[in-house]
Structure 1
């Protein structure tokens, strides 16, 4: 009997506790918390994240205690925040992934690689801040966002969203950004959407209407129709006359356009025939053309009085002249930040690369020659040599040695998942890091170089691999030729933290670029600051630092490289060097000579096979704060 009384007392006490605080009664398998936990686990199941697989286990959150799961915010046992920024997440997010998170106030998936359509927010009426920027979401912006009365910030820039912008008009919505998507149509004339700046809409070529300077064609058509309607109602004669005038104007415009096209075609055809008369016939015309024909197609002439000036004579380049170069068969290699590149294949002599420069400073011939001479004087086994150049008022060309094995970007990222891909192992990646370090160390130590940033545009696409697998750094010295405004928009060094905050660059900006390049080598991921158009990059410095801090360092290394036995210690050492180079403070970054020396000491293999990626073996002196290693960049 006493035992029975004790049991009844325990049940009564538990019931009173439940009535006093219902949230305390909710466990991981029932009630709201159970639904929310299931929703998060369902979200995780579609993502490729070993880190979340390990972290999102056990108790999610309890009462107002600190949540146990990474990226989760809770209040009274309910999920109020989901923040998974810059941790390399991939996969599709289901449109109903958030339906059970009814207390959610903050959602941030920025700077990952999510795909799929944006989620529906019908049941998330308490959402205040949404940040899905820098992902791969596509499709239309969901109309359910219009019903979020508490919405204060919507950041969905740098995705692949299409369609119209919904008529957002929430009074509290003060931060709004849809830039760099594929949206179209007229921007709604709501007070909320007209209050944000033009930068929130840039990168959507088909958007029109205020605040953009582009007028909407449909709007002008509707005005014409309205004018036509006003002329009706007892004035049918005036209406008919108005229509007749419009028809006549349209016909005249068509005739004028046809005449202009005919005149242009005759001139273009004549010029093309003159160029073909000077050119040697080329096989496979669908793929190749001559450099001169490509120039003609873009209505560019080489001008008068120019000549091809050779600055390097030990590569067999003197076997051709300007005429031979322009008549050579040419294959397009791609569009760079400062000019298009072509592979020129002559009947006699080596294959070379011709770079047609654009957006240069307004230099006269003497000034241009002095700058080119300074560039040509930079001679190192790991620098791509400038063989020759051409100068005229209308055209500037650089001629380089052709690197048969492409560039480092394609070696790291190209052909992933295909049978044709040759694995890029640790020893080859270390050799690439050494070659680039040697080249930069030479540029930084060359007393004849007076530029603040000896390279200025170091990225994996500007690191080439020749037929002997030697590393050749290209595009060095261009800071002396490119206008500052253009350089600040396109050059990698100008994406460094000190330029973003203080508008200053130095040799340490090159060191920062080198650190980011090495992290790209180690992780196999594209840095955000150098990602090409259409490629979603990652803030590698911040992401790798977070991995070190949270002790999942081993997962940052590219699996293709990490399988090499005995390389673990070397990979950790190289990552440590890269993170020091990426320090937010230029004064704390090492000199390039110190960096090159440390990289030379790293062994390609042969270390103990029991090396691991344990956090305890990592030098914590470089793991200060996220801010010390990462910078907010815009691509």
Structure 2
């Protein structure tokens, strides 16, 4: 065999060995959790590890960023996590139900991965990364289910792949903010949402795209023809858009021979490796010793003890000691307490406390800290809270500290530092409403029953009304109302948290992540109103009743539509069991009240602000949901006549005690 053939044999052998090893593990039943852990190995995780919930001891459906349907992983949403490294496509092929993948706003780089191996994908979001280089013409062959493809704000070069234009189900395509060049291929899709702006594309715009908004093509100086006002040179008119290339088949026989030889050698190698591993495993099996030592808050967060200032050292007569010195721009390191009725402790005590990470949100991580006295506190670390100066920040925190309501989680203390802030609150025994709605089943625990859900809705509504009454100067006094920001006490009493933070959060970060900026009025008119929180309440009610994640927060859901649209399409004014969460037990004889609450939720998240409930009206309607049959029937009939005139034979709840 010639040297060139041996070289080709060697180059082909390495990836083929990996492929056969993967096939071998798949045959033996690779679970979703194993596939995800294999995928994680290729990632480089940033300082704020958003993948901390990926624990082999818990089901993958409870992990952050993992979306499930019927117990199977159908989506990964790993956004804004400072991830880098490579994308292990082979590991992802182990997720047989994977339909959507989003790694937007990270630091991934390098060439375009072989996503065509994930032929069942329906949505692929790679925007705002550092991918670069050309994308091969056949990169999307076999991806017949792909509907949404977002590649904007990367560094891709070369021509737009012809296989991309041939995707049969494509609905959305965003390629803006790259360096694509050459002509635009023919797109035959009738309802395509497209953005090709700010590239280096040239030539005549295909006729199939001539009716689109000119903004789709702006920033490409070499483009001409409709819908742009730039006329094409006569020579360009004779050049047609690129068509699919036909690949030569002259080396098919050689490739077949090489593949056969490599396959045989690979099988021999795999058998040898398995034999050696099994032999070594039997020879030495060291005892498994695991030391479980809980880290302190300081180790978990990485917050450092600052050196004392020069003035402080002079005042103390020494530069040594264990005391935490003042960070730059901070006069002291004491916690600022907002509640006189709570136990006092110092920042060093807090940092030395044993800590457990509870979650990592879009603004920072939350930790459970156990003080030496045994008191459990929650410490929230914010790095995107520089919208206000120090004095303005302290004044606003004092204002929030004066709030007292049965359904608000009070802010006990705060720590100010220019680079980051710490907010200290008490610990809620049952965790978040989001976990109790969507995570309990994975741990074999019962989900929330109907009476408990109604109790939670009433408590949330009361707390929200209180915020609107005591923070009248804020357009959206809560601003970030969602299930993960509602905590539950031992008796399932809801406590609102993360309220009143809009004036403090950096505006760019707030607009990207806070619930108020996901509302219809902001998306359409770039404004937040007094009714924006009411919209958040409506979405929360629909989530509590249906058991589905709001698409507003997950970007995509099972049917590719938002939760409000799904409910409106499914709800015909009468009882429909498929509309409501199947884990919500004990709903017999409660249909009328449940339907009434659903209608209230829909009125709260009405897209037209003028038609939406005021907060006072929404709370009044919710409070009127009584347990006695006669009261419920009268209210239900009245409410139906006030809304759309539709009615149903809903029977009111019996034996519900919400007091």
TM-score, length basis structure 2: 0.53
Q: Which residues of 2 match residues 147-546 of structure 1 at below 5 A?
A: 155-157=147-149, 167-168=162-163, 170=165, 177=172, 191-192=183-184, 196-197=195-196, 286=292, 288-296=294-302, 303=327, 304-306=330-332, 307-315=334-342, 317-318=343-344, 320-416=345-441, 420-446=444-470, 448-531=471-554, 539-546=562-569
3-state SS of paired residue (2:600): helix
Shift of 1:145: 7.1
Shift in CA distance, 465/593, structure 1 to aligned 2, threshold 3 Å: same
Q: Which has the larger radius of gyration?
A: 1
Query: Which range is displaced more, 569-578 or 367-376?
Result: 367-376
Contact 2:122–2:146 (8 Å) recurs in 1 = no
Q: 1:572 — aligned with what?
A: 595
Q: 2:607 — aligned with what?
A: 584
2:559 and 2:623 mapped to 1: Cα distance? 32
Shift in CA distance, 459/537, structure 1 to aligned 2, threshold 3 Å: farther
Shift in CA distance, 117/452, structure 1 to aligned 2, threshold 3 Å: closer
Q: Which residues of 2 match residues 125-144 of structure 1 at below 5 A?
A: none
**Which sections of structure 1, spanning at least 5 residues, go unmatched?**
1-87, 94-113, 119-130, 181-185, 201-210, 212-283, 625-635
3-state SS of paired residue (2:584): helix
Shift of 1:605: 7.5
Query: Which range is displaced more, 532-541 or 585-594?
Result: 532-541
Contact 2:432–2:486 (8 Å) recurs in 1 = yes
Shift in CA distance, 450/141, structure 1 to aligned 2, threshold 3 Å: farther
What is the aligned-residue RMSD (CA, Å)? 4.8
2:198 and 2:378 mapped to 1: Cα distance? 37
3-state SS of paired residue (2:367): strand
Shift in CA distance, 310/617, structure 1 to aligned 2, threshold 3 Å: closer
1:621 corresponds to 2:643: yes
Contact 1:170–1:192 (8 Å) recurs in 2 = no
TM-score, length basis structure 1: 0.54
Shift in CA distance, 537/329, structure 1 to aligned 2, threshold 3 Å: farther
Q: Which residues of 2 match residues 78-157 of structure 1 at below 5 A?
A: 115=97, 155-157=147-149
Contact 1:525–1:537 (8 Å) recurs in 2 = no
3-state SS of paired residue (2:358): strand
1:486 and 1:478 mapped to 2: Cα distance? 12
1:116 and 1:142 mapped to 2: Cα distance? 24
Shift in CA distance, 479/617, structure 1 to aligned 2, threshold 3 Å: closer
Shift of 1:291: 1.8
Shift in CA distance, 456/290, structure 1 to aligned 2, threshold 3 Å: same
3-state SS of paired residue (1:479): coil
Shift in CA distance, 395/116, structure 1 to aligned 2, threshold 3 Å: closer
Shift of 1:400: 0.4
3-state SS of paired residue (1:559): coil
Contact 2:368–2:377 (8 Å) recurs in 1 = yes
Larger helix proportion, structure 1 or 2?
1
Shift in CA distance, 390/89, structure 1 to aligned 2, threshold 3 Å: closer
Contact 2:123–2:147 (8 Å) recurs in 1 = no
